[in-house]
Structure 1
Amino acid sequence: MAIQRSRIRKFLVVAHGEPLAPRQLRRLARGRYVICLDGAANDNPSLRPDLLLGDMDGISAPALRRMRRWKVPVLALTDQNTTDLEKALLWCAMHKAKDVVVVAATGRRMDHTLANVSLLRRFDRKGAVLEFRTGLERIRYLKNRRLSLAAKRGQRVAVFGAPEATVWSTGAKYPMTGLLLRWGILESVSNECTGRRFALRVEGEALLVMEEK
């Protein structure tokens, strides 16, 4: 299925975890091609996406009628070897996405949450940004790279080895200087930003969890 707004390379994927507030969802949707997974249509009755995608086993009859009334294109993919979120991320990659934000990928079921977070690593591509937003935090996977983000004083930040990384930070209350982080052994949690920028250098693989401000 071709994208009607063919120049768009920024996407918002709405998954079927803990939903965001409608105001937050509207803000994140601005300027993005919005893909709604089938079950997420049940939780977001005011959301009018550009595409409804999934195996269609989780959408309610009223939500499906609403999508049809709005003439939202439907991409039904019945492959049971991939989750609906995997299908959506594959679709974004096929359309050369440069910036993908995924919301409602966490919460409700722990197995789904852990599987979804692992997709940050699986779909990491050079030159593209993939980020999860929960309404409270943003989550990114980083491999052998440097990152500088706008920040506010007191903004919480955590870094986990995924599975292992050596990290250096700038703008953190508790500086990380060649700190070796290993999954299940040592992580950096409850750190805080000290000013308007937070920078991180990662050698290896890490997950960054940063509070929304």
Structure 2
Amino acid sequence: MINLKLSTLSAGRKVSTVIVADGKFPEHKIPLKALADAEIVVCCDGATTKVDSYGITPTAVVGDLDSLSDSLKMKYSDRLFHEPDQNSNDLTKAIMWCLARNYTDITILGATGLREDHTLGNIGLLSKYARLGVNVKMLTDTGYFLPLLSSSTLESFKGQQVSIFSPSNKAIITTINLRYPIENRSLEEYWMGTLNESLGDSFGISFENESLIIFMTYQ
């Protein structure tokens, strides 16, 4: 079993951190590699069962702990962080735990795939986390979500499927090097920016004063 300890980490550098939420545990090799390579693994409450079964000992277990079995509470008693605040979900509690320790390079796993209300809520929080200073991405079994706070050029590959979501629907967006160009217009409905396609090894998105969430498929 892989045991991740804070004491093994060197100071003064970015620490690869994975938060595992209590959704569908990943099966694709890319999120599983991210989990295996992580220096810090933070479990959201009930996700501890899945991570423990996978053979990884989490660095921390964060949340209201209502989904954690008594046996796992005992096993990981030295790394439980009880956060009972009902005005924040377990994923945000885990993010705040990381920020308090200056872990800002964060990959989120297990945030989708089961209950759709949890999925939407978790994806919708990405922009908030980015505004808090987190370099965050959310990996699924088909691709990954990224929040954008400003105009960006993103690495890609020809044929990559790209979807653009505008949570506020107020951003005026222009794209470069996508099969279906968006030119100086807003995306008033979530479906309007979906199922686009990259034409090369990068594409650009220009917008101002709002945030976007991008979904990109794996190669």
Q: TM-score, normalised by structure 2?
A: 0.82
Once the two structures are TM-superposed, the CA of residue 155 in structure 1 deviates from its matched residue by 0.9
Counterpart residue number, 1:118: 124
Instruction: Work out whether residues 24 and 113 of structure 2, in 8 Å CA contact, stay in contact via their aligned partners in 1.
Output: yes
Q: How many angstroms apart in 1 are the aligned matches of 2:165 and 2:192?
A: 5
Instruction: Work out whether residues 142 and 202 of structure 1, in 8 Å CA contact, stay in contact via their aligned partners in 2.
Output: no
1:116-169 per-position Cα deviation (integer Å, ceiling 9, x unaligned): 1221132222753222111212112223x1222221211100112211212222
Q: How many angstroms apart in 2 are the aligned matches of 1:191 and 1:150?
A: 15
Matches within 5 A, 1:91-110: 91-110=97-116
- 1:152 correspondence with 2:157: yes
Q: How many angstroms apart in 2 are the aligned matches of 1:97 and 1:147?
A: 23
Report which stretch shifted further, 30-39 or 149-158: 30-39
Once the two structures are TM-superposed, the CA of residue 75 in structure 1 deviates from its matched residue by 1.7
- 1:167 correspondence with 2:164: no
SS at match of 1:124: helix
Q: Amino acid of the residue matched to residue 139 of structure 2?
A: R
- 1:56 correspondence with 2:56: no
Give the structure with the larger helix fraction: 2
Counterpart residue number, 1:17: 23
Change (3 A) 1:51 1:193: same
- 1:192 correspondence with 2:197: yes
Q: How many angstroms apart in 2 are the aligned matches of 1:40 and 1:126?
A: 24
Instruction: Work out whether residues 48 and 58 of structure 2, in 8 Å CA contact, stay in contact via their aligned partners in 1.
Output: no
Instruction: Work out whether residues 147 and 214 of structure 2, in 8 Å CA contact, stay in contact via their aligned partners in 1.
Output: yes
Once the two structures are TM-superposed, the CA of residue 114 in structure 1 deviates from its matched residue by 2.0
Once the two structures are TM-superposed, the CA of residue 10 in structure 1 deviates from its matched residue by 3.3
- 1:43 correspondence with 2:50: yes
Q: How many angstroms apart in 2 are the aligned matches of 1:108 and 1:122?
A: 22
Give the structure with the larger strand fraction: 1
Once the two structures are TM-superposed, the CA of residue 31 in structure 1 deviates from its matched residue by 4.4
Instruction: Work out whether residues 162 and 182 of structure 1, in 8 Å CA contact, stay in contact via their aligned partners in 2.
Output: no
Could you tell me the percent identity over the aligned residues? 26
Instruction: Work out whether residues 127 and 212 of structure 2, in 8 Å CA contact, stay in contact via their aligned partners in 1.
Output: no
Structure 1: 5+ residue stretches without partners: none
SS at match of 2:151: strand
Instruction: Work out whether residues 36 and 52 of structure 1, in 8 Å CA contact, stay in contact via their aligned partners in 2.
Output: yes
- 1:179 correspondence with 2:185: yes
Once the two structures are TM-superposed, the CA of residue 14 in structure 1 deviates from its matched residue by 0.3
Counterpart residue number, 1:140: 146
Quick one: which of 193, 208, 212 aligns to 2:214? 208
Instruction: Work out whether residues 41 and 47 of structure 1, in 8 Å CA contact, stay in contact via their aligned partners in 2.
Output: no
Q: How many angstroms apart in 2 are the aligned matches of 1:59 and 1:134?
A: 23
